Structure 1
Amino acid sequence: MSLDFFSGFATGLALIVAIGSQNAYVLRQGILRQHVLPLVLFCGLSDALLILAGIGGAGLLVRDNPLLMTLTRYGGALFLLTYGVLAARRAWQGEPMQVSKNGGATLTAALAACFAFTFLNPHVYLDTVVLLGALANQRPDPGRWIFGAGAVSASLCWFAALGFGARFLAPLFATARAWQVLDALIALTMWVLATLLLQG
C-alpha cells in the first residue's frame, strides 16, 4: 500500500470518528441489532460518493453555494432537535428495549433516518467533499484517487466496527436504566449539534 492510501485512511478516520448524530444512530441500531448491515453499507457508500465527488471537483460547487449550506444547516438543525426530543421522551419513559434482530423500526424508516443524519448535516459536505477533496487534489494522478480510496476504506471500516461491534455492548443494555442513560446522552448530543449548526 502506498503512502497516499495510508494518508487518506488516517485523515478520513480522524474526520469520521467523532461523536455525531450519524454515529450515535448507528451505535443504537447496532446494540438493538436492527438493520445493521444496510445501515453500515449506506453510511460507507454515502461517504464514498461524497469523497469521490469532492475529488472530482464538486468541492468548489459546495463551497461556493451558500444557499445549499443554509438549507442543510436549518433543515439539519430541525431534524436533530426533533430526534433529540424523541430520544429524551424514550429516556423519560424508561421503557426497556428488546435487543433482537426483529421488531423496531422498519428498514425503510431506519434508512430514511440515516439519510437525514447524513445529508442534512452541512459538516458532512465540508469534511468529505471540500476538505478531503482538497487534500486529495494536492496530489497528482493517480495519487489523489489512491488517497480517496484510503478515506473511503476508513469510512467503511469505522461504520462496520461501530455497527457490528455494538452488539458486544448488548449485555450492558439489559435494563431500562441503561437505555435511559443512552437515550439521554443521544438527546443531549442531538441538541448540542443542532445548536452548533444554528450558530453557523
Structure 2
Amino acid sequence: MLTFLTGLGLGLSLIVAIGAQNAFVLRQGVRREHVGVVVAVCAASDAVLYAAGGAGLGALIEQRPGFVDIARWAGAAVVLGYGALAARRAWRGGEELEAAQDARQPDAGRRLRPVLLTALALTWLNPHVYLDTVVLQGSIAAGYGDDRWLFTGGAMVSSVLWFVGLGYGARFLAPLLRRPGAWRVVDGVIALIMVAVAASLVLA
C-alpha cells in the first residue's frame, strides 16, 4: 500500500502543474463540451505511458534523443497553434454567448473529432509527458523491483483522479464566467500559458 501511495503522490505532483493539456481539459470542463471523451483520452494516455515506463521503455527513449527532439518541435507547433486560437477568441470575444448555449445543451458545441484530435495532440506531442511519465516515473518505479507495478498503478490512479476532478469540477466555475468579458480573460490566460509552454519546448 505504501508503494502504491508513493506512486499516487508522485503522479499528482507531476500532473497538477498547469500546462497545455490541463488548460485544455479545464476549458472543456467549463464549457461542458465532450468532457467524458477528453478525460478518458488524457487518463488512458497517461496509463499507457506509465505502463511503458514501468516496463522499462524510459531507458530506450534516453538512448534515442532524436525522438524527444522531434516531439519537442512538433509539440511546440501544436501548442503555439492552439495558443493562437485562444488569443483570437480573447481578442474577438463572443465566447460568453457560445458557452451559455453549450451549458444549456451539454456536448452540443464543437464536433467531437476536432476536440478529440486536440486532446491527443496536446498529450502525445508534448515531450514533457514522456520525460515525466516514461523516463522519470519509469526510473523510480524500477527501484521498487517486483513492486514496481504497484508504484505504477498508483501513478495511473493519480491521472484518473486528477482529470476527472479537473474536467467535471470545472463546471462549477461556469457561474463566474457568465460575467461580461470573463471568457476573454480566460482565453487570454490560456493563450499566455500555451505560448509559455511552446517557448519552454523550443528553448529546452
Using the size of structure 2 for normalisation, the TM-score is: 0.95
Instruction: Report the equivalent of 1:4.
Output: 3
User: What is the match of residue 71 of structure 1?
Assistant: 70
**Contact 1:50–1:125 (Cα < 8 Å) also in 2:** yes
Q: 2:117 aligns with which of 98, 112, 117?
A: 112
**Which of 145, 161, 164 is matched with 2:165 structurally?**
161
Moved over 4 A (4+): none
User: What is the Cα deviation at residue 110 of structure 1?
Assistant: 0.8
Q: Give the letter aligned to residue 149 of structure 1.
A: G
Structure 2 counterpart of 1:79, one-letter code: V
The 1-side partners of 2:180 and 2:81 are apart by: 22
2:184 is aligned with 1:180: yes
User: Is the 2:34–2:107 Cα contact (8 Å) retained in structure 1?
Assistant: no
Following the alignment from structure 1 to structure 2, what is the Cα–Cα distance between the partners of residues 15 and 187? 22
Amino acid in the other structure paired with 1:98: A
Partners of 1:64 and 1:19 in 2: CA distance: 29
Q: Determine whether 1:128 maps to 2:133.
A: yes
| Residue identity opposite 2:109 in structure 1 | G
CA distance, structure 2, for counterparts of residue 87 and residue 22 of structure 1: 14
Letter in 2 for 1:69: V
Is contact 1:94-1:176 (8 Å) kept? Answer: no
Counterpart Cα distance in 2 of 1:55 and 1:173:
41
Displacement of 1:66 after TM fit?
Answer: 1.5
- Partner in structure 1 of residue 203 of structure 2: 199
What RMSD over aligned residues (CA atoms) do the two structures have, in Å? 0.9
2: CA distance, partners of 1:64 / 1:171: 49
Query: What is the TM-score normalised by the length of structure 1?
Result: 0.96
Unaligned runs of 5+ in 1: none
Range with greater deviation from structure 2 (99-108 or 116-125): 99-108
Unpaired stretches in structure 2, ≥5 consecutive residues? none
Aligned-pair distance for 1:98? Answer: 2.2
User: Structure 1 residue 42 and structure 2 residue 41: aligned?
Assistant: yes
How far 1:64 sits from its partner (Å)?
Answer: 1.4
How far 1:29 sits from its partner (Å)? 0.3
Say yes or no: does 1:149 pair with 2:153: yes
SS of 2:99 mapped into structure 1: coil
Report what 1:98 is aligned to. 99
- Percent of counterpart pairs with the same letter? 48
Given that residues 8 and 151 in structure 2 are in contact (C-alpha distance below 8 angstroms), is that contact kept between their aligned partners in structure 1? yes
Residue equivalent to 1:18: 17
Q: CA deviation at 1:70?
A: 0.9
